A and B are shown apart, each in its own frame.
Chain A
Amino acid sequence: MTTTSQLVEFKIPDIYHTDRSHPVRWILSHAKRYWYLLLGGLAGSILNAALGGLTPVLIGQAFNLMQDDPGNIKNLGILAAYVAATQALRALSQYVRNLSFETTAQFVERNVRDELYASLIGKSMTFHSLQPIGDIMAKTTNDVREVNYFFSPGVTMVLGSVVFLFIPIVYSIQYHISLIAVPLLFIFVYFWSIRQYLMKLSPVTESVRSNFGELNIHLAESIDGIEIVKGAARETEEVANFMSNARKYRNAVVKQGDVEAVFIPMLLMAFAVALGLLHALVLFKLGLINIGAVVSYFGLLLMLDFPTFSSLHAYSRISLGVAGARRILGLMNQENNLDQNLKGATGAIIGEIEFRNVSFRYGSNSEAVLKNISFKVRPGQRVAIVGQTGSGKTTLCRLVNRTYDTSSGEVLVDGIDVRDWTLETLRQNISIIEQDIFLFSRSINKNITFGKPDASPEAVINASKSAQADEFINTFPDKYETIIGERGVTLSGGQRQRLALARAFLTDPRILILDDSTSAIDSATEDRIQKAIFAAARGRTTLIITHRLSQIRWADIILVMKKGELVDIGKHEELMQRSSVYREIFSD
């Protein structure tokens, strides 16, 4: 098994190595760890089928007994007891089979999820800011599940039914060698027909899935937007829309049903049973086998109904499992661009920032998001960045802490290119507060101390006071121990922002980047938010992406961005003189 040599920001020391070159190999390398379970499952499958096949054999013997020696109830009783005993044993084997594969499935699911998760954490911020979280969630939940189902019921049923296919062959040899003909033929035709069936089925089930998706999206939208629909008097059109989508979905479902209706394996089974019976009767007529043999053989042929009817879903489980594995591997194998740069500069950062002819685009073929940006910020200055959506404000800030690297040009901190600092030093000295403030579902205290778990309670309260958060925290009954989030208290946007600022106060970065997008409904709250932002900016270089006129008005430098370009830079008074658009903003 090969290990992957990826540049990662985080690594678990003793993780089990897996083969990530191909989905099937990867699944097997996970399963190999539990070879004893797989062995148990295999043994269970074989025993289950073998013991199951004994029933028709014993029944045949009972028939012969009653034919030849009708009064021998004692031996009949013994045969019946054998049936009971072998079936009980068989049930046990089946349980071992099921449990072995089910346990393997659970182990593998846990380990796969663990591997995926560790891999995700190790990836850079670049990766995470580009990857939609819904996509990641789909893989960690659904696709991991599919790998579980690969083993149970997938392997359980497939292995189980394949073994069943061979039992009639193995047991009928004792009666007459030629009796293996029909079951043998059945095996070939069966696999061929299953393959045909699955090939025909897969585009149809895909069509059902996508039609349902369409139906659901438009339905959900029209219900969410019911006010608009009613306001624009569009009820009739929306109903017509729905009917057309519903009809398309219904047709796809019917089509799938039509494919499923032509279930060739069932027809094959009918032929196999009839042909086998014919074969046995001919041999009986020729005096080559006895009545018990005919009865046994017929019973053995009936065992073929398990593979016929039960294994369909199992084969799709196998292919779905492989598909899920492929998607997971695709996610894990995505390359990182950034490395820790352990040989880089370390030490205290003062906080000077310079952009020299910086341009940036996300992919090599996409449009430039930043075009030839140059400016210089002295340590401790407060910079307001303004512009409409899509002007490049957020991207510009992300170049400072190396979430992304520039496509051309340099970003320098304290005169040294950010690529020449160690990643650790940069992250230690630069803090970003994003637009969507993320707080963990835990206590306020734990959230504030997230970056500095060993902070003293006084430090926490001081940080919280400077961030104008202490006041509202004390209104909660549990104060700093109040749990926030889904299972706790919901905070307003302004409150969340102030908690994030408190968090930043504690870690005391040299450079603070703040994406300020909250708004206050009342002036008292607005006062507090303003105070908190001004306090946070004191004593460090601060970049604020903001809409607040007060933050713009009083900034040391204002950067005006438009469509990726820096169209103006200067203090408020200069811009008021130069730019009519800027003057507009500050007019009544």
Chain B
Amino acid sequence: MGFFSGLNAEKYDRQYSDMALVRRIYPFIKRQWLRIVLLTLTVLILSGAGALQPIIVSKGVDKLNSQITLNAVFVIPLLVLCVGVTGWVANWAQRRLSMRAIGDIVMDLATTAYRAAIQHDLSFYDEMSSGRVVSRITSDTQEFGTMIQLLTDVLAQIVEGVILGIVLLQINVTLTLYLIAMMPMVFVSTILYRKLMRRVVRRGFRAMANVNAAVKETISGISIAKNFRQEKTIYDEFTEANNTSFKVNFQRGIVVSSVFPIMNALAGLATALMVYSGGMSVSKGIVSFGAWYLFILGLDRFLYPMMNIASFWTQIQNGFSAAERTFALIEAKSAVTQDNSDLKPTLNGKIEFERVRFAYRDNEPVLDDFNLTIQTGENLAIVGHTGAGKSSIARLVARFYEFQSGRILLDGIDIRSLNLENYRRQLGIVSQVPFLFSGTIEENIRYASTHASPDEILAIVRRIGEGEWLDALPNGLSTEVGERGSRLSTGQRQLVALIRVLVQQPAVFILDEATASIDPFTEKQIQQAINLNLARSTSILIAHRLSTVKSADRIIVLEKGKIIEEGTHLQLMKAGRSYASLYNTYFRHQSLEYVEDMGQYVDGNS
């Protein structure tokens, strides 16, 4: 189906030249050199067998004119059989070899891409969505593999055509020229046709996407529709989209149905011409009957490969684009680079920022000439408006991003000189939207500390609300959490993430508090888990909960990357400046006074 492939590929602007791309692809292909050599051999045999069949038959036809010997009657079919069987064996070998070679190339490419992706720092993921990254690792590498497969097939057909062409030329130049003259016409009409098809196919896809979107939207809202008894309304809307899709796809069908008929008509015309001109040559004694038959049989072996070659050009482009996207992923520059790789197995957790300047890609600096010292074991809460730079501090400590100037020191050691893997093992990070991997709760808890024993884990779990939260789950620690933890509630996912850190016992605890609504019982347990972590680590808390700021040793108020106030909650409230106003905006509604105040709305006073 070479004609129909790749009609719906997306546009992609190529940056690398073809040569540059080939240079990068070469090492992957080089590893398969033995298979490629064998593949070339089998392709030659396959093409040879394919070309030989009509040649043998044509020789046989020549023998039909004179007195045919019994020998010929048996030998010719036998030769045809041998050639056919050889072709089948060569095809078998070719498929096996190419599947293995291409399978390995794609696997190598995908693994290299994945390894690179995992190593990239978070600034990379700000630019490229995870969906696109995944697509480059799987779809693009596969598309590249498909292109190589097509390349092999087309090559086989070309070789067959060339062999035949040479033989035909030797028999009669004029007839061969007639044959070759038809090729450009086929080539051009194929390309034009594909252009028309692409437009029509795209429109068909879009109409289909619309119907599916309409279905998805209304089925998602089916409860609402039923609640308000509006079933007929959404049905009518669906019907409209459905009918439109039919119309558009029917039009597509009109075009698509005509492809092979037109090609067959052209082939029929070419055959008629060949019958006539070949017959004339035979009647004039220029060529033999066998040669005439060879020209007629050869038509098919030129025409259809020509169509595939014409389709193939766009396929090559798609394949190269796919390969380039993969290499762009692999070669993206990492912003975070370490100078050294010192192993410091036990940090105490003192953190110092010295005149740090940090900006996300080409943007305004978030921190400028920033100074901060966090003592070992101190619990520091950071508050401020959105964009004040709170998360940046945490991300820099975690070394997820690179800062532009200044120094960050851990226990007095430059953060850039540390072995990253070893360093990160001593950080316990809980992000705003906790992420769990599919697997059991126990596996998720153990993720950062693979050496923890089940008993240790259980003991720690029981320290939170007496482990009651676990009893609510069907299989306790062995409960499957589902993809991304979807089978657990937000509150339960937070608990698991916090316990993960508790088991890890890191030197530094970084918490970006969730803002989601969680039931009050679980909320208390989360507080308990946080407090347990606070007790043993140096903590950086991006605080959204009132209870957190109240329990912090020190609060810093950030505004545009500068610390404008610091102290304890009570001190700052008494001072009545920025912190107090922030409290009013973000924390007031979490207080018990506020809860009591709400009573004013109860008896209809508003």
Contacts and interface: CB of A to CB of B under 8 A. Distances in A.
B293 A295 contact: yes
A530 interface: yes
Contacts of A232: 424-425, 447-448
Given A427-B229, A553-B599, 20 more contacts: A59-B296, A136-B219, A223-B117, A224-B130, A226-B130, A232-B447, A266-B88, A270-B83, A270-B87, A274-B77, A275-B81, A285-B73, A388-B522, A389-B522, A432-B227, A521-B544, A534-B598, A547-B520, A585-B521, A588-B550
Interface centre among B232, B271, B491 (most CB of A within 10 A): B271
A427 B133 contact: no
B81 A450 contact: no
B320 interface: no
B250 interface: yes
Contact of A440 (B115, B130, B221, B516): B221
Contacts of B81: 270-271, 274-275
A79 interface: yes
Contact of A114 (B76, B242, B262, B400): B242
B438 A129 contact: no
Nearest to A72: B283
Interface stretch (A21-29, A94-102, A369-377, A475-483): A94-102
B478 to A, nearest CB: 16
Contact of A553 (B85, B257, B598): B598
A9 B133 CA distance: 45
A121 B228 contact: no
B477 to A, nearest CB: 16
A368 interface: no
A106 B107 contact: no
**Most chain B CB neighbours (cut-off 10 Å) among A228, A254, A507:** A228
A387 B398 CA distance: 36
Contacts of A114: 239, 242
B103 A523 contact: no
B448 A291 contact: no
B484 interface: yes
Chain B contact residues, majority secondary structure? helix
A450 B400 CA distance: 47
Interface string A232-271: 1111101100110011011001101110111100110111
B73 A67 contact: no
7 contacts: A66-B292, A99-B253, A223-B130, A223-B133, A270-B80, A277-B60, A581-B521
B472 A79 contact: no
A125 B483 contact: no
Contacts of B229: 424, 427-428, 451
B427 A231 contact: yes
Interface string B20-40: 000000000000000000000
Contacts of A458: none
Contacts of A79: 275, 279
A230 B424 contact: yes
A441 interface: yes
A71 interface: yes
A216 B265 contact: no
A552 interface: yes
Contact of B64 (A120, A222, A294): A294
A47 to B, nearest CB: 12
Nearest to B587: A523
A118 interface: yes
Interface string B217-252: 101111111111111111100110011011001100
A65 B438 CA distance: 76
A121 B221 CA distance: 11
Given A87-B272, A221-B438, A547-B517, A70 B448 contact: no
A381 interface: no
Interface string A211-224: 01001111111111
Contacts of A507: 228
A231 B98 CA distance: 41
A209 B429 CA distance: 36
A438 interface: yes
A167 to B, nearest CB: 15
B211 A83 contact: no
A258 B517 contact: no
A278 B73 contact: yes
A523 B584 contact: yes
B272 A389 contact: no
Interface stretch (A173-181, A343-351, A411-419, A512-520): A512-520
B232 A258 contact: no
Nearest to A294: B64
Nearest to A229: B118
A284 B517 contact: no
Contacts of A90: 264-265, 268
A62 B521 contact: no
Interface string B584-606: 11111100101110110110101
A120 B65 CA distance: 72
Interface string B429-462: 1010001011000000001100000000000000
B289 A66 contact: yes
Given A59-B275, A231-B424, A523-B584, A554 B242 contact: no
B61 A295 contact: yes
A84 interface: yes
B282 interface: yes
Contacts of B250: 103, 106
B91 A266 contact: yes
Contacts of B544: 521
B73 A281 contact: yes
A522 B293 CA distance: 87
Interface in B550-606: 550, 584-589, 592, 594-596, 598-599, 601-602, 604, 606
